[in-house]
Amino acid sequence: MAKLQTLKPTLQVLDTRRVPTMAAGSWRTEGMTSTQRGYGYKWQQARLAFLREHPLCAMCQAEGLVTVATVVDHIIPHRGDQSLFWRRSNWAPLCAHHHSSDKQREESRSSR
């Protein structure tokens, strides 16, 4: 009978560190729900329409990659300014990876 060999794990360890995205006193931390901040039904409909028109991640495309966009990013952070929030020229299609890593890092550098 052959002896079973133990295999070494082949999965990479997931980096669970988070990029800080909300400064104390930020408009996002004032106890408002996402709907109160403008991300309700109207936003969801506008977001879906925008992603249908712009289905690929802009940052991936700049790197020569083709990735489905799942997030509509506000290029200039609106910080609660509803005029800037709804300005379509301020929207960019991004994949979740770019929105939650590169874009957040970019914003945290510029807010210092």
pLDDT value of residue 39: 85
Half-sphere exposure of 17 (CA within 13 A, CB side): 4
Read off the pLDDT band of 20 (50, 70, 90): very low
Q: What is the 3-state secondary structure (H, E, C) of the chain?
A: CCCCCCCCCCCCCCCCCCCCCCCCCCHHHCCCCCCCCCCCHHHHHHHHHHHHHCCECHHHHHCCCCCECCEEEECCCCCCCHHHHCCHHHEEEECHHHHHHHHHHHHHHHCC
pTM over 0.85: no
Cα 64 → chain centroid: 19
pLDDT value of residue 9: 63
Which position has the higher pLDDT, 72 or 29? 72
pLDDT above 50 for 19? no
For the record, the structure tokens of 4 come out as 């079973």
CB-based contacts of 88: which residues, under 8 Å, 6+ apart? 50
Mean pLDDT, residues 71-92: 93
Domain ranges of the chain: 54-112
Of 24-38, 72-86, 92-106, minimum mean pLDDT range: 24-38
Residue-wise pLDDT for 29-65, tens only, equals 567 788 877 889 999 999 999 999 999 999 999 999 9
pLDDT value of residue 13: 57
Read off the pLDDT band of 92 (50, 70, 90): very high
